[in-house]
C-alpha cells in the first residue's frame, strides 16, 4: 500500500481532530494524582498524571480507525513500544501531554503532539495543539505549515535578542555560565543582542516557540545515558520545521533519528531546532567546543 496525497490529507484530519479533542480536555483538567515513571533522569521526564493517560485514550480512540485501514503502526508515550513502528511502512507517534511538569505547575509550555512517521524516520505529518492558547499547528510534508488551519509563514529573523527556549536541565549544567558566555558570542557574531533564556516548557512547545520568535533556537547536546527527549517529543515539530524552511537536525547536522531501532530516547545524537541555518551552524560549532 502507498499513501497518496488524499490519504495524507485524511490522516491529517484524523490527527487534527484527535489532538484538538485531547487538548481541550487537558485545558479543563487538573491532576488529582501525580506518579513517577522510570526512564530518563530529570523530574520533567518522569512525572505522570491520570490526565496523560486519559488524553492518550482520547487520541487512540480517534486514531484507531486509521490503523487497519492504512496499515499503520503506533508508538505512544504511555504504553509499551511494541515495535510495530519498525515493521509498518508508517506509524503514528503520539505524545498525549508533553510538558507534564508545566501542566502540574499550571504554567504554559504543555501540549499535545501527534506525528505520522515513515519507517525510515521521515516525518510526514505533524500536529501540535496548545491547550493554553487553544492554538493548533500542523504540517503535511510537501504541503506547507498551518496555524489554526490557515497557511502560516513564520516571521524571518529580526534584529534584537537571540531567544533560547531551553529545558530546565540547561540551567542545571555545571558549565551553564560558560555556555551562556559562548552563546553571547554566537549572538554577537550574527548581529543579535545578548541571548535571552525563556521560561522552560516541554520539548514540543519549546520548538513551536522557536518558530514564533526568530531568531531563536532550542537544542539538547548528546549524552551517554538514556534521556535527551524521546521520539514522540520531536517527530511532529520536525515536520513543522521542515515545512517552514527552518532547521531540525541532530546536533551534528544530520537528520533526526526519528525511528531509532535500539531505543526511543534521543540522547545518542542530540537535537537542534533553529530558525535559520546560520544560527544552526554556530550552535553546532559551539557543541564541538563545549563537549
Q: For domain 5-151, which architecture applies?
A: 2-Layer Sandwich (3.30)
Position 172 pLDDT exceeds 80: no
In the chain, domain spans: 5-151, 161-290
169-188 in b/e form (b: 16+ CB < 10 A) is bbeeeeeeeebbebbeebbe
43 pLDDT higher than 70: no
**Can you name the residues that pair with 123 across neighbouring β-strands?**
117
- Model confidence at 130: pLDDT above 60: yes
CATH of domain 161-290: 3.40.190.80
72-100 pLDDT tens trace: 999 999 999 999 999 999 999 999 999 99
Q: What is the CA radius of gyration of the chain?
A: 18
Q: CA nearest 148: which of 163, 128, 168?
A: 128
In this prediction the pTM is 0.93
The Cα–Cα gap between 77 and 134 comes to 22
Q: Which pLDDT belongs to residue 246?
A: 98
Amino acid at each position: 500500500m502507498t499513501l497518496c496525497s488524499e490519504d495524507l490529507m485524511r490522516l491529517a484530519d484524523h490527527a487534527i481532530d484527535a489532538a484538538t479533542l485531547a487538548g481541550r480536555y487537558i485545558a479543563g483538567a487538573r491532576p488529582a494524582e501525580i506518579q513517577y515513571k522510570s526512564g530518563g533522569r530529570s523530574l520533567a521526564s518522569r512525572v505522570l498524571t491520570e490526565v496523560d493517560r486519559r488524553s492518550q485514550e482520547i487520541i487512540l480512540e480517534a486514531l484507531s480507525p486509521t490503523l487497519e485501514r492504512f496499515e499503520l503502526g503506533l508508538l505512544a508515550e504511555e504504553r509499551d513500544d511494541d515495535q510495530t513502528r519498525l515493521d509498518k511502512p508508517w506509524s503514528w507517534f503520539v505524545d498525549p501531554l508533553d510538558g507534564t511538569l508545566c501542566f502540574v505547575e499550571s504554567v504554559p509550555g504543555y501540549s499535545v503532539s501527534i506525528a505520522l512517521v515513515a519507517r525510515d524516520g521521515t516525518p510526514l505529518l505533524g500536529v501540535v495543539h496548545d491547550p493554553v492558547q487553544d492554538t493548533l499547528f500542523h504540517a503535511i510534508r510537501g504541503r506547507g505549515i498551518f496555524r489554526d488551519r490557515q497557511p502560516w509563514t513564520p516571521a524571518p529573523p529580526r534584529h534584537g535578542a537571540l531567544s533560547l527556549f531551553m529545558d530546565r536541565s540547561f540551567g542545571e549544567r555545571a558549565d551553564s555560565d560558560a555556555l551562556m558566555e559562548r552563546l553571547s558570542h554566537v549572538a554577537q557574531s550574527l548581529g543579535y543582542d545578548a541571548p535571552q533564556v525563556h521560561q522552560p516548557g516541554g520539548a514540543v512547545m519549546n520548538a513551536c516557540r522557536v518558530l514564533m520568535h526568530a531568531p531563536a533556537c532550542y537544542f539538547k547536546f548528546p549524552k551517554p545515558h538514556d534521556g535527551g527527549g524521546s521520539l514522540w517529543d520531536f517527530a511532529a515539530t520536525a515536520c513543522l520545521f521542515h515545512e517552514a524552511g527552518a532547521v531540525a537536525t541532530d546536533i551534528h547536522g544530520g537528520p533526526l533519528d526519528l525511528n531509532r531501532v535500539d531505543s526511543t530516547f534521543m540522547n545518542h545524537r542530540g537535537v537542534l531546532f533553529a530558525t535559520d541555518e546560520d544560527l544552526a551552524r554556530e550552535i553546532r560549532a559551539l557543541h564541538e567546543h563545549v563537549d
